[in-house]
Amino acid sequence: MSEWAVRVNHVSKKFRLYHERNQTLKSAILRGKASRHEDFWALRDVTFEVKKGQTHGLIGSNGSGKSTLLKCLAKIYWPTSGDIEYRGRMASLLEVGSGFHLELSGRENIYLNGSILGMSKKEIDRKFDEIVDFSGVERFLDQPVKNYSSGMYVRLGFSIAINVDPDILVVDEVLSVGDEEFQRKSFKKFTELKAEGTTIVLVTHTMPVVKEICDTATWINQGALIAVGNAADVVDQYQASIT
Amino acid sequence: MSYLAEIWRSRELLQNLTNREVRGKYRRTALGQLWSLANPIAAIVIYTFIFSFIFRLPAQVGDPSGLNNYALWLVCGLLPWLFFNRVLTLGTDALVANAGLIQKVYFPRIVLPLSLTNATFFTWILEMGVLALALSLLGAFVLPWVPLVAVFMAVFALFSVGLAMIFSIVNVYFRDLAYLLTIVLQFWFYLTPILYPVDLVVTQSERLGGLAGTSVTLMDIYTLNPVQGFIEIFRNLLYDNRMPEGLTVLVALGWTIAALVGGLWMYASKEKQLAELL
């Protein structure tokens, strides 16, 4: 059980804060250079690892850099220096329903969205019933998704994403999707995934959730790693620091 | 090389995104896919009326096909151009229009311009099919040339997508490009021998001789336009029913490789930064 699934090695991420963002040709030609900017380090030398099958929480105040870290983990941002290693297939769940085509039906969107998230057609065929079942939109499957209520929309998006069956799942605060009944269902699904040995990394502001479902946690503040270890301990340290 | 392998791995996604474009486009319209033929037909009617009827442009006789029909001659050049125009216009906007997706999910970004081109290519095949039918009915012996036409359609599509790939990345840095492009494409259209035969330019070029005291002629500058060669190839195959000149083909292939390498290189080197640039 001590085998690692995700390893974050000395990851730093630099953003450029533009004073004058020259996104027009005119300004580029007039000034003769593309832009004036200042560097901002959103992450500085963050190192930790998540063991296989564990659920790991990323906590910290707003603007601490945890979302940047999550986007690096999801391969949306690339670290300026350092690297992230994975053992197994990674899938991310940062926003539900991204990539839905409003004019297409729910059925067509399941295939479209599934393949955007990295599933093959065979996998989607196999999981199709489960996805539909979980989302509870069965009756509206052949309607264009633009006619869906916002609840149906996110439930369908969430059901696709949760059925990707990755080895490593990277999640932003999406546990708060849908009504209470659906939330309970998603929560149960998470526990199932966990029981099946999926490694989960998640960002949340709800400390009781971290204590309840996370095994380990990382606390980040102003881009630097403050503490990493047992979830309950890290949460206690974090809460002590803000009160 | 590993980048090409990654594109290959995402072929299913590419197919699904292409379907999204094709199916989503004409949803809730009564005529559906037939609408894609409406634009070219309107253009043919207008240009034929103006250039063949009003301006009385000399008729172009196909050699050796013997065809003598301005409208058909026009379409053989117009359809490739319309395809090129759509790929470039849509492709340039491909990344900026999908910013939301790029910032939320990881997938090889290159599938965005590729899927747009695929969808546009699909429409182009329909148009060319109708054209081949019309040519056959009006006396050209097109059938034996269909395989070669298909090959050059694929080559022209690769050229177009290569250029669209380069433009889509540049458009992320300079959003002006999308607007500038519509003007450039207008100039480009009239600087390509689509409405008029290239002979008229040759005559004018010979009359002028070397420009500004140099040995450079108007024709030398005119032939720098890569699309011009492609148009000539499509006309040779479809309207004249003969092999295009070897040099024209080589130049076209050269441009295609340059555009593709340029586009792939842009994506391979910039792809990872796209999420934060958008």
ipTM computed for the complex: 0.79
With CB atoms and an 8 Å threshold, state whether A101 touches B103. Answer: no
Average pLDDT, chain B: 90
**A24, A26, A111 ranked by CB distance to B16: nearest:** A111
Residue B166: per-residue pLDDT = 96
Position B46 pLDDT exceeds 90: yes
A-B CB pairs within 8 A amount to 72
Q: Any idea which residue has 């479809």 for tokens? A: B238
With CB atoms and an 8 Å threshold, state whether B174 touches A120. Answer: no
Domains of chain B: total: 1
Q: Beginning with the edge strand found earlier in the chain, give each strand of the sheet holding A224-230 in spatial order.
A: A90-93, A168-171, A199-203, A55-59, A216-221, A224-230
Residue B28, Cβ neighbours under 10 Å: how many?
7
* DSSP symbol at A149: -
Residue B159: per-residue pLDDT = 97
For B243, the domain range is 2-277
Q: Which residues of B touch A144 (CB under 8 A)?
A: 27
Distance CA B164, CA B115 (A): 12
Position B75 pLDDT exceeds 60: yes
| Best residue of A115, A143, A173, A174 to probe chain B, by most B CBs closer than 10 Å | A115
Distance CA A86, CA A142 (A): 38
Residue A157: per-residue pLDDT = 87
For A138, the domain range is 51-242
Q: Does the N-terminal peptide bond of residue B64 adopt cis geometry, omega within 30 degrees of 0?
A: yes
- Residues near A53 by beta carbon (within 8 Å), at least 6 away in sequence: A1, A5, A194, A197, A198, A199
Distance CA A210, CA B217 (A): 75
Highest-scoring range by mean pLDDT, A11-25, A26-40, B78-92, B212-226 = B78-92
Q: What tens digit of pLDDT does each residue of B247-267 get?
A: 999 999 999 999 999 999 999
Residue B45, Cβ neighbours under 10 Å: how many?
11
| Best residue of B95, B106, B109, B171 to probe chain A, by most A CBs closer than 10 Å | B106
**A15, A28, A115 ranked by CB distance to B16: nearest:** A115
List chain A residues with pLDDT less than 50. none
Position B18 pLDDT exceeds 70: yes
Q: Is A95 touching B (CB cutoff 8 A)?
A: yes
The upper half-sphere exposure of residue B67, i.e. CA atoms within 13 Å in the direction of its Cβ, equals 27
| Domain assignment of residue A12, yes or no | no
- B102/chain A closest Cα distance in angstroms: 8
Distance CA B178, CA B239 (A): 34
A93 near A169, Cβ under 8 Å? yes
A59 near A234, Cβ under 8 Å? yes
Domains of chain A: total: 1
Residue B67: per-residue pLDDT = 86
Q: Is B204 touching A (CB cutoff 8 A)?
A: no
- For residue B243, give the nearest of B256, B228, B227, B232 by alpha carbon: B232
Position B223 pLDDT exceeds 80: yes
Distance CA B144, CA B65 (A): 13
Q: Which residues of A touch B28 (CB under 8 A)?
A: 103
User: pTM score, two decimals?
Assistant: 0.87
Distance CA B140, CA B146 (A): 12
Residue at A142: amino acid letter: D
| Domain assignment of residue A234, yes or no | yes
| Domain assignment of residue A45, yes or no | no
Q: What is the percent of chain B where pLDDT is above 70?
A: 100
Q: Is B26 touching A (CB cutoff 8 A)?
A: no
In three-state secondary structure terms, A29 is helix
The continuous run of DSSP H or E covering A18 comes out as: strand A4-21
Residue A23: per-residue pLDDT = 62
**B101, B176, B276 ranked by CB distance to A99: nearest:** B101
A130 near A185, Cβ under 8 Å? no
Q: What tens digit of pLDDT does each residue of B137-186 get?
A: 988 888 899 999 999 999 999 999 999 999 999 999 888 898 999 999 99
Q: Which residues of B touch A17 (CB under 8 A)?
A: none
Q: What tens digit of pLDDT does each residue of A114-166 get?
A: 888 888 889 999 999 999 998 888 889 999 888 988 888 888 888 888 888 88
CATH (domain of A109): 3.40.50.300
HEC secondary structure over B62-77: CCCCCCECHHHHHHHH
| Domain assignment of residue A86, yes or no | yes
With CB atoms and an 8 Å threshold, state whether A101 touches B20. Answer: yes
| Domain assignment of residue A160, yes or no | yes
- For residue B11, give the nearest of B106, B115, B100 by alpha carbon: B115
| Best residue of A20, A100, A116, A169 to probe chain B, by most B CBs closer than 10 Å | A116
Residue B17: per-residue pLDDT = 87
